[in-house]
Amino acid sequence: MLNKNYIEVLYNMKEEYVENGYFNEATQTYTFELKLPVTPHTCPRCGTTTQYIKDYRVKTINFGKAHEVITIGKYRQRRYFCKNCHTSFSESNRFVGKYMRTSKSTLTSIFHAVQHTQTYSLIAKQHNLSVTSVIRYFSQVKIAKPTALPSVLGIPCMSLSGLGIGKRAKT
């Protein structure tokens, strides 16, 4: 069964960031809450460093599937406020991109699966995504300029295939 330690290993996420994990037997879904510590952030507009908190937004993130269990993170994303220029902005994080609802680890796993010539429908099923989403993510990578690639693919991530994720029998 998934637990905090498992989440830490699987998603390269510190255990203390993970709270209140619970498993729903009926939907085979493991949901956990995520919150990062307060750290100094640089205002994207004027460059001033701030730790002043404006508010929080809860973002639901699809972390794909682990051992057939759908994994969902409820990320309580902090928004900081710059007192110098009155700009508010979201805190930086390592596990989900801006405007994204699918985790970076899931995207990495999808790209591994594509390399192993699995079908889009199989990959979608394995990652709790629609086929359309999988195709969209994959096409975004293919058309990305080389300078943009590291931000998409350079994800600090352990080998997911070693844990049995994205490594299913080909059909």
By beta-carbon proximity to Zn ion, the closer residue of 45 and 136 is: 45
What distance, in Å, lies between the first and last C-alpha atoms of the chain?
A: 27
CB of 59 to Zn ion, least distance (A): 23
Question: CB under 8 Å to 61, separation ≥6 — which residues?
Answer: 34, 72, 73, 74, 75, 95, 96, 100, 101, 102, 103
Per CB under 5 A, does 46 bind Zn ion? yes
Beta bridge pairs of residue 56: 78
Q: Which stretch binds Zn ion (CB under 5 A): 7-15, 79-87, 125-133, 161-169?
A: 79-87
Would you tell me how many other CB atoms lie within 10 Å of the CB of residue 93? Answer: 18
Nearest-angstrom CA–CA distance, 68 and 84: 48
CB of 99 to Zn ion, least distance (A): 21
Per CB under 5 A, does 83 bind Zn ion? no
Per CB under 5 A, does 82 bind Zn ion? yes
Angle subtended at Cα 16 by Cα 14 and Cα 22, rounded to the nearest 5 degrees: 100
Q: Which stretch binds Zn ion (CB under 5 A): 63-71, 85-93, 122-130, 136-144?
A: 85-93
88 membership: H or E segment, kind and range? strand 87-90
Per CB under 5 A, does 136 bind Zn ion? no
Among positions 84, 92, 151, 159, the unique one binding Zn ion when judged by CB under 5 A: 84
Number of residues that bind Zn ion (CB under 5 A): 8
133 membership: H or E segment, kind and range? helix 131-143
Per CB under 5 A, does 123 bind Zn ion? no
Among positions 38, 58, 85, 149, the unique one binding Zn ion when judged by CB under 5 A: 85
By beta-carbon proximity to Zn ion, the closer residue of 12 and 87 is: 87
Residues that bind Zn ion (CB under 5 A): 43, 45-46, 48, 82, 84-85, 87
